[in-house]
A and B are shown apart, each in its own frame.
Chain A
């Protein structure tokens, strides 16, 4: 006998419950609540889960994700019906995966004609893939016509506007979306990124601050906020933000790099060197290596500073892009001089990073304990 579901057992009447118990080989005798308990125990612990087989419509999206759009399209074509738009959307996605943009657009149009609003968003993605950001924005508008103030539609529209080069319009869309959805943290995050990309560092820092109010442990946001503050010249605040990010995730090379750059701005060249070297250990991007080389150069001059104070130069290294912030180039080219002496070991970072908080997350010292203080025994 196939095991019944918990809900079926909970709502079964007495004859059905008895049948269930007998069918499962359980004792069907006793008070109904006790028999029900017995069957529920069996269902919870012993009953095998019902086998589930993936149909063609289930296999097709997986095939697209695995990179086999042609068989996925064949599957979708096999499950087409006249009144269901979903297979058309699936077919469009498979065509899009195969790079057949025109065919994809046709499929999405068909689904949209059948009343599927999300097809417009897929249509927008297809237009964007073809580089037609204006078309993508128009498709988003069509979607928003059917679902005004929809968060997904608004954020996609803002994204396409930004990618199309209409950064200010994108920011305006995000701002209007925030009026309707003030609690949507993702919107604040997107707004911060858009502002950062368009060079409005003050408002960007504020937007990231709003995001962090909802989720203080958002490492990306902390790093981006730090980058915005660094651009604003608030270096001490930026250092604070990067250090906070590193406390949450000490392995973030971009945060280490940005912290190094911020220290360099503060003329704390040794600290800068330590952090940049730690960043380079984790991620050897040309940008980080350039920053390391530059700081070593500065360090060399710093050592010479005591003898020749006038040779000291201001730091000119810029922050490396904090993912997913826009990539920014280091202002300086790689030094073509011979490699400089490494800083002495004893001059490394004065404050080691904190990194234990997560490491012991599993070892919560005191678990929630239950009390059993009501032991009254009958004598």
Chain B
């Protein structure tokens, strides 16, 4: 979508009217009335075509209306008027991401970071964009910048861990996820990443444990399936069946869960462990006082790697 045309009906702007239009536009945007907001911002732009705030508002509205190209155009116009606008750069980057133009998204963050080198969100998002471009080292460098400024930033730790994992540094990734969970004990993403990490390391007990904790925060079919797979490895067929059933409740088409359910049912014909009150079953640690007095120590040892 383009700017309103420089038609002959433009007149010398009334400041009051412009303010009224802008306020009404913002109010409508906040209330989710996007058509009304678009009408208001367009009216404001007819009063003053080179008004960056109105272009910004228009960009936000169009992005909400899924008109990504229009939003990109609006943000670009806002930046033409005001090249240092942080909000416009962030909006442009988000719109570019929506359009799948990740390289340009990175360029937008680069431009913004030249103006505001201390903007954490921009560094985080740049890292995430580089991650999508498979430039994991670049992503890690971005997260390191964030952690240099805010060492307690849980999201940065989590994203850093994800990037390190892709670089094959499993131990580094594990440390990062531990930090993320230390600073943000309810960090869902860090829990899920940890589940996949420990699965990869062949520690099903911990996978089941962290999947359980993540599922308390938010349910998702793949995560239930991952939990089911962990129980399957721990020979806990009943728990595995329960997990796969729940995964299929949430997503009937999840092939992984369907296959897992078949295996779990077959396993129950042969064996079925019961962990009792021990949430940590399958994570036996020699020398740990809790493990030393555990009632199911022998079984736990059998399945712990």
Tell me the A residues contacting B by CB distance below 8 Å.
14, 27, 29-35, 38, 40-41, 44, 274, 278, 345-346, 348-350, 352-357, 359-361, 363-379
- B162 x A373 contact (CB < 8 A): yes
Pairwise interchain contact A372-B162, C-beta atoms closer than 8 A: yes
Given contacts A30-B277, A352-B51, A366-B125, contact A374 B196 (CB under 8 A): yes
For B54, list chain A residues within 8 Å (CB): 356
Contact of B38 with A by CB under 8 A: no
Give Cα A351 to B48, complex, Å. 8
With A352-B18, A355-B53, A366-B125 as contacts: A376 and B291 at CB distance below 8 Å: no
Q: Which residues of B contact A349 (CB under 8 A)?
A: 15
Q: Does B279 contact A (CB under 8 A)?
A: yes
Majority SS of interface residues in chain B? helix
User: Which of A357, A364, A368 meets B85, CB within 8 Å?
Assistant: A357
User: A32-B289, A40-B185 given as contacts; is B283 within 8 A of A372 (CB)?
Assistant: no
Q: Do A372 and B189 have beta carbons less than 8 Å apart? A: yes
Chain B residues with CB below 8 A from A372, complex form: 162, 189, 192-193
The 10 closest A-B pairs by CB, nearest first: A356-B53, A366-B94, A14-B289, A368-B124, A365-B91, A34-B280, A31-B280, A32-B290, A370-B189, A30-B280
A249 CB to nearest B CB, Å:
14
B12 at the interface (CB under 8 A from A): yes
Rounded to whole angstroms, the CA-CA distance of A30 and B285 in the bound complex is 11
Are A367 and B121 in touch, CB under 8 angstroms? yes
CB pair B53–A354 under 8 Å, yes or no, is yes
Which B250-303 residues sit within 8 Å CB-CB of chain A?
256, 259, 277-280, 283-285, 288-291, 294-295
Q: Which of B90, B159, B284 contacts A366 (CB 8 A)?
A: B90
Within 8 A of A (CB), among B207-266: 209, 222, 225-226, 229-230, 233, 256, 259
Could you tell me if B128 and A371 are in contact, using CB atoms closer than 8 angstroms?
Answer: yes
Question: Contact at A35–B87, with CB atoms within 8 Å?
Answer: no
CB distance from B11 to the nearest CB of A (A): 8
Q: Is the CB of B288 within 8 A of A31?
A: yes
Which among B18, B90, B121, B290 is the interface contact of A29 at CB below 8 angstroms? B290
CB distance from A91 to the nearest CB of B (A): 41
**CB proximity of B92 to chain A, nearest CB, Å:** 9
For B125, the chain A residues whose CB sits under 8 A away are 366, 368-369
Q: Digitize B44-56: 1 where CB-to-A-CB distance is under 8 Å, 0 elsewhere.
A: 0001100111101
Interface residues on B, range: 35 or more
Residue of A nearest to B23 (CB): A359
Q: Point out which of A27, A345, A359 has the most chain B C-beta atoms below 10 A from its C-beta.
A: A359
The answer to whether A366 touches B93 (Cβ under 8 A) is yes
* Shortest Cβ gap from A199 to chain B (Å): 35
Instruction: Give the residue of A30, A41, A377 whose beta carbon is less than 8 angstroms from that of B199.
Output: A377
A-B pairs under 8 A by CB, number: 162
Q: Which residues of B contact A41 (CB under 8 A)?
A: 185
User: Of A34, A38, A368, A377, which is in contact with the most chain B CB atoms at under 10 Å from its CB?
Assistant: A368
Assess the B87–A364 pair: CB atoms within 8 A: yes
Within 8 Å CB of B277, what residues of A?
A: 27, 29-30
Q: CB of B19 within 8 A of chain A?
A: yes
Tell me the bound Cα distance from A353 to B48 in angstroms.
11
A216 to chain B, nearest CB (A): 11
Not counting A32-B288, A34-B290, a sample of 13 additional A-B residue pairs whose C-beta atoms are within 8 angstroms of each other reads A31-B285, A31-B288, A44-B185, A346-B11, A348-B14, A352-B15, A354-B51, A366-B90, A369-B125, A370-B155, A371-B159, A371-B189, A372-B193
List chain B residues, Cβ under 8 A from A27: 277, 279
Residue B197, interface by CB 8 Å: yes
Chain B residues with CB under 8 A of A29: 277-278, 290, 294-295
The distance in angstroms between the C-alpha atoms of A295 and B162, with both chains bound, is 64
- CB pair B19 A374 closer than 8 Å: no
Q: Which residues of A contact B280 (CB under 8 A)?
A: 30-31, 33-34
A27 to B56, CA, bound (A): 54
A350–B159 CA distance with the chains assembled, in angstroms = 48
CB pair A346–B288 under 8 Å, yes or no, is no
A30-B277, A365-B60, A365-B91 known; A370 and B26 CB under 8 Å? no
Q: Which residues of A contact B290 (CB under 8 A)?
A: 14, 29-35
CB distance from B119 to the nearest CB of A (A): 10
A-B contact pairs, 26 of them (CB 8 A): A29-B277, A29-B294, A30-B280, A30-B290, A31-B291, A32-B291, A33-B288, A34-B209, A40-B185, A41-B185, A355-B19, A355-B22, A356-B26, A356-B54, A364-B87, A364-B121, A365-B63, A366-B125, A368-B125, A371-B131, A372-B162, A374-B162, A374-B165, A376-B199, A377-B229, A378-B229
